[in-house]
């Protein structure tokens, strides 16, 4: 009987060892399919941007058997798209600076100080995080408010809106890291005669740099990809950002697929470069506060 029991247990263990690799292969296959589904449109758009007019409408479509050309990119830059890239870059960087300058002391205050309505205010901050994805519901009140101030169609309106939309996300990311910093460091600095600003500057700031980097990346990406506010708050060609400029290639008589895909390719290049260079920084900043101590 014991022999039979041992044999059954051995078969069960062997079956379990075979089942785990099969399950891992299944998950790997599903993940591979998901990657292909996400990357395929991107690769197809990039290839399309290098096709001439004749190759754009060839059937069956030409994946690699076509003559590459830069005429679509030439047309995009002749339309002033380079200026749109520069405007978007300035707006996004200004939003990053504003969000970090305001987000760091706010996150520190939410974590270290007790003040009236602190929990309620932080709950409002967390509830406002979806603004970083888009704030179409606030478009009309924002437009009415900024129009009454005479700030629509000005260089400062979009950085202010971008920073306001991305600020809750920045506060949440930075606060998560500050929670993992021992309060004893603040107490030791206070005993040495440091003010609150000096503690923030010389103690907290060096320790939250990964979180600041992660927040900066998220703010930059959110500001760069914003479309609704930038297409309504600004209508001057000299202040037009990247996303409305891409949309301008969808004309009354149809889509101009060559310039459209070329401009979209140029628009995603900064995002790809940022994630390629600073992707690890973002992961480090988002996970640094996950373990307190």
**In the predicted model, what is the mean pLDDT of the chain?**
83
For the chain, the structural domain boundaries read 2-49, 72-290
Mean per-residue pLDDT for 94-116? 92
Q: Average the pLDDT over each of 27-41, 87-101, 113-127, 172-186 and give the range with the smallest value.
A: 27-41
Residue 185 pLDDT exceeds 50? yes
pLDDT for 9 equals: 52
CA–chain centroid gap for 235, Å, is 25
What is the average per-residue pLDDT within 96-112? 93
186-215: burial string, b at 16+ Cβ within 10 Å, e else: beebeeeebeeeebbeebbeeebebbbbbb
SS (H, E, C) 188-255: HHHHCCCCHHHHHHHHHHHHCHHHHHHHHHHHHHHHHCCCHHHHHCCCCHHHCCHHHHHHCCEECCEE
Query: Tens digits of per-residue pLDDT, 12-58?
Result: 455 555 555 666 788 888 888 888 888 888 888 888 888 887 777 77
Residue 291: pLDDT band (50, 70, 90) is very low
Confidence of residue 127 (pLDDT cuts 50, 70, 90): confident
In the 8-state DSSP scheme, what is residue 66? S
The answer to whether 281 touches 210, Cβ cutoff 8 Å, is yes
On the question of pLDDT at 209 being above 80, the answer is yes
What pLDDT does residue 4 have? 47
pLDDT-derived band at 242, boundaries 50, 70, 90: very high
Q: How confident is the model at residue 252 (pLDDT cuts 50, 70, 90)?
A: low
CA distance 233 to 186: 43
Residue 207 reports pLDDT greater than 80: yes
Task: Please give the average per-residue pLDDT across 137-161, as a whole number.
Answer: 89
Select from 3.40.50.10490, 3.40.640.10, 3.40.1390.20, 1.10.3720.10 the CATH code of 72-290: 1.10.3720.10
Kindly tell me the burial class for residue 155, based on how many C-beta atoms sit within 10 Å of its own C-beta (0-12, 13-18, 19 or more).
Answer: middle
**pLDDT at position 6, please?**
46
- Predicted model pTM: 0.81
For the chain, give the percent of residues with pLDDT over 90: 25
Which residues face 255 on adjacent strands?
250
Contact in structure between 241 and 228 (CB atoms under 8 Å): no
The pLDDT assigned to 292 comes to: 46
pLDDT in the model for residue 66: 79
Measured CA to CA, the distance from residue 208 to residue 87 in angstroms comes to: 29
Q: Is 277 exposed, middle or buried (0-12, 13-18, 19+ CB in 10 A)?
A: exposed
Predicted confidence band of residue 1 (pLDDT cuts 50, 70, 90): very low
């Amino acid at each position: 009987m014991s022999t039979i029991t041992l044999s059954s247990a051995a078969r069960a263990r062997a079956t379990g060892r075979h089942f785990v690799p099969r399950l891992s292969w299944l998950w790997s296959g599903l993940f591979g399919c998901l990657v292909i589904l996400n990357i395929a449109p991107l690769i197809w758009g990039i290839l399309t941007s290098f096709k001439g007019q004749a190759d754009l409408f060839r059937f069956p479509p030409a994946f690699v058997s076509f003559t590459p050309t830069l005429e679509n990119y030439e047309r995009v830059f002749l339309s002033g798209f380079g200026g749109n890239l520069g405007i978007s870059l300035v707006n996004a960087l200004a939003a990053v600076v504003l969000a970090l300058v305001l987000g760091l002391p706010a996150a520190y205050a939410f974590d270290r100080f007790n003040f009236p309505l602190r929990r309620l205010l932080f709950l409002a901050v967390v509830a406002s995080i979806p603004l970083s994805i888009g704030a179409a519901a606030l478009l009309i009140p924002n437009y009415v408010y900024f129009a009454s101030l005479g700030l629509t169609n000005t260089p400062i309106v979009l950085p202010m809106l971008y920073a306001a939309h991305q600020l809750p996300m920045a506060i949440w990311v930075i606060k998560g890291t500050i929670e993992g910093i021992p309060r004893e460091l603040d107490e030791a600095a206070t005993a040495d005669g440091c003010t609150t600003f000096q503690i923030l500057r010389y103690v907290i700031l060096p320790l939250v740099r990964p979180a600041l980097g992660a927040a900066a990346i998220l703010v930059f990406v959110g500001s760069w990809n914003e479309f609704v506010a930038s297409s309504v708050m600004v209508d001057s060609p000299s202040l037009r950002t990247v996303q409305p400029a891409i949309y301008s290639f969808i004309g009354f008589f149809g889509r101009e697929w060559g310039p459209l895909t070329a401009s979209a390719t140029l628009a995603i290049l900064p995002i790809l470069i940022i994630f390629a260079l600073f992707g690890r920084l973002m992961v480090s900043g988002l996970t640094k506060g996950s373990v307190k101590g």
